[in-house]
A and B are shown apart, each in its own frame.
Chain A
Amino acid sequence: MTIETATPANSRVIGSGSSPMSRIPWTLIVFVVACTVPWLGSRYNTFLAEQIAIDALFAVSLNLLLGTTGLVSFGHVAYFGVGAYVCGILMKTYDLPFIIAFPAAGLGAGLFALVSGFFCVRLIKLYFAMLTLAFSQIIWAIAYKWNDVTGGDQGLPDVPFPNLDWMTAIPGLGSLKTSDQFYLLTIVLIAVSLAVLHRVVRSPFGRVLTTIRDNPERAAFIGVNVRAYQLAAFVVAGTFAGFAGALYGIFSRGVFADYVFWSKSAEVMIMTILGGMDYFWGPPVGALAIVWLNQEVTDYTEYWPFVLGVILLVLLFVFPGGIVGGLDLLWKRARGWHRA
């Protein structure tokens, strides 16, 4: 379904190889630029950048399943939601510090991924997708109804910012607003998470996952316990989705049940595929595109779903490799490469 290229399967970067393009540390540049946003732009830009960063992590975690392992999950938002609620509840209801709540969010999401994943990986493609959806709606139903713990349909408004006083010790950061300080913390945490995920994808474990994606039967017959690996991927993906959710809860100053509705799973999947699921940095590009477009479009019209639908159609019929896929193709054409 995608373009065949001759670069390593699970770590494609545009222009990878010994070209001058690949020597430029793109990710470092993006990270530095992201860090300077609170000083550069308006509050609006900081808001956008934070949204994009969080969605980027969420989408990359999904792509560990979708693009690397070949698992189509329609319920990934469940882990995002569990992370958001765990962190929000621990910080708001139990007054625990961020340094406990944040890891706990990942742990909680990972545990739920372990339990749900155990049942899901036993099923073939279609039923797998349906069960992931069922589990995600169960989480939604719990979030919506368990008034005592999750706030029910009212949710958990006013999740507090973590205690960021320690930031004032770092030169230049003391003068920032709390929300901007949290922004920087978010960017750093997400950068670290993405770095870890990148490592995982390029590791032997990641390589085994791609064999499962390409040919599960064959993978079994080179000695791979397919279900165990799929479950492991599921747990890793769920954990990082949980981290994204935890950050989102604080960022949006509240955790609400509609964060966990299945349409969010569809949205993150669209981001992932729009960016390009064959590329590690595809999903973040997709997140950037969708978040930015969403903001632009909703300024003019309320018909964002329509626009999203059209984008999806264009993606499906014209650019199945996504944005990064399309760029990669252009790059190769420009360099005169011929596909084997």
Chain B
Amino acid sequence: MLEVAGLSKSFAGFRAVSDVSLTVETQQIAAVIGPNGAGKSTLFNLITGHLQPDSGTVRLDGRDITGAAPYRICGMGIGRSFQRTNIFSRLTVFENLQAAYLVHHGRGLDFWSRAESFYRDETAALLASIGLQGQENAVAGTLSYGNQKQLELGLALASDPAMLLLDEPTAGMSATETHDTIRLIEKIAGERALTLLFTEHDMDVVFSIAQKIAVLHQGQVIADGAPAEVRADPTVRRVYLGEH
């Protein structure tokens, strides 16, 4: 579904991402791992159009989406969550998700109707599926960190994506929260037949659900394959020695 080929990006001489190629099959769960500064977030930003690559291409189902504007890429069926929670802090939880539905269904240019009347059922359903029922009227900025992350996930799902890019979905979570979040993600991915690409620091998480793992180190892919292979790869072990 997603084909990244030869992607490169430098910042003032520093090669953040260097000739990265990656393929994610439809409905596959893939992970990108690597030490801090390996270029994971930059890679995501390149895929979702937040950054323009210096060279290389990104294809979605064969379509070239390299460097397209983020809002267009979202419209093509990629949902994304961000590492630092990125929600609409002054809107309520309900309004957050409802806004995403409004945009997704093309209602954004409706100047006349009342916003609160649309997509109430869908929003309520989504709220329930991400585990935030009962919090509809809480102002997003006042939610706990964990809840904000759930909302983040909800926002990514509201645009009905075929593929989800999750940037460190369990960052900063306790063991229980991590476990719950991963189960939730797995469940949703299964229910909606989603393709998943995520980055993570927590190796247990990665090895528990990823079907394919790419290892990034200093902007380059040093290993790419099934979890067992990657685990056994000597280069990977060397890179992670002392880190894990």
Contacts and interface: CB of A to CB of B under 8 A. Distances in A.
Direct contact of A and B (CB under 8 A): yes
A168 to B, nearest CB: 35
B142 A202 contact: no
Interface in B100-138: 100, 102-104, 107-116, 118, 137-138
Given A207-B98, A224-B71, A202 B115 contact: yes
A314 interface: no
A215 B155 CA distance: 13
- Indicate the member of B92, B99, B113, B138 with the most A CB atoms within 10 Å: B99
B86 interface: yes
A9 B103 contact: no
A73 B113 CA distance: 27
Main secondary structure of the interface of A (DSSP, over half): helix
A215 B112 CA distance: 23
B91 A210 contact: yes
A225 interface: yes
Given A8-B95, A222-B100, A223-B103, A199 B48 contact: no
A222 B87 contact: no
B69 A220 contact: yes
Contacts of B190: none
Contacts of A158: none
Contact of A222 (B104, B114, B115): B104
A129 interface: no
B161 to A, nearest CB: 10
Interface in A222-240: 222-226, 229
A315 interface: no
A207 B111 CA distance: 10
B87 A215 contact: yes
B69 A225 contact: yes
A211 interface: yes
Contacts of B90: 2, 4, 9, 210, 213-214
B37 interface: no
A229 B71 CA distance: 12
Contacts of A210: 88, 90-91, 95, 99
A217 B69 CA distance: 11
A33 interface: no
Q: Which of A204, A205, A210, A229 has the most CB of B within 10 A?
A: A204
B172 interface: no
A5 B142 CA distance: 10
Contacts of B118: 204
Nearest to A218: B86
By size class, the interface of chain B is: 35 or more
Given A214-B90, A215-B88, A222-B99, A203 B115 contact: yes
B74 A220 contact: yes
B9 interface: no
A75 to B, nearest CB: 24
B88 A214 contact: yes
A312 B108 CA distance: 36
A222 B113 CA distance: 21
B57 to A, nearest CB: 21
B141 interface: yes
B138 A204 contact: no
B102 A9 contact: no
A241 to B, nearest CB: 17
A221 interface: yes
Interface string A70-113: 00000000000000000000000000000000000000000000
B75 interface: yes
Contact of B111 (A4, A203, A222, A225): A203
Contacts of B87: 215, 218
B74 A221 contact: yes
| Residue of A210, A218, A220 most packed against chain B (CB within 10 A) | A218
Contacts of B91: 9, 210-211, 214
Contacts of B104: 222-223
A222 B139 contact: no
B111 A205 contact: yes
B110 A223 contact: no
A206 B88 contact: no
Interface of B: 48, 50, 69-71, 74-75, 79-80, 82, 86-92, 95, 98-100, 102-104, 107-116, 118, 137-139, 141-142, 155-156, 158-159
- Top 10 closest pairs, chain A to chain B, by CB: A214-B88, A207-B115, A222-B100, A220-B70, A204-B110, A223-B74, A204-B107, A218-B86, A223-B103, A204-B102
Interface of A: 2, 4-6, 8-9, 199-200, 202-208, 210-211, 213-215, 217-226, 229, 339-340
Given A206-B115, A219-B88, A222-B104, 4 more contacts: A4-B141, A208-B99, A221-B71, A340-B138
10 contacts: A199-B111, A200-B112, A202-B116, A210-B88, A210-B90, A211-B91, A215-B88, A221-B156, A222-B99, A222-B159
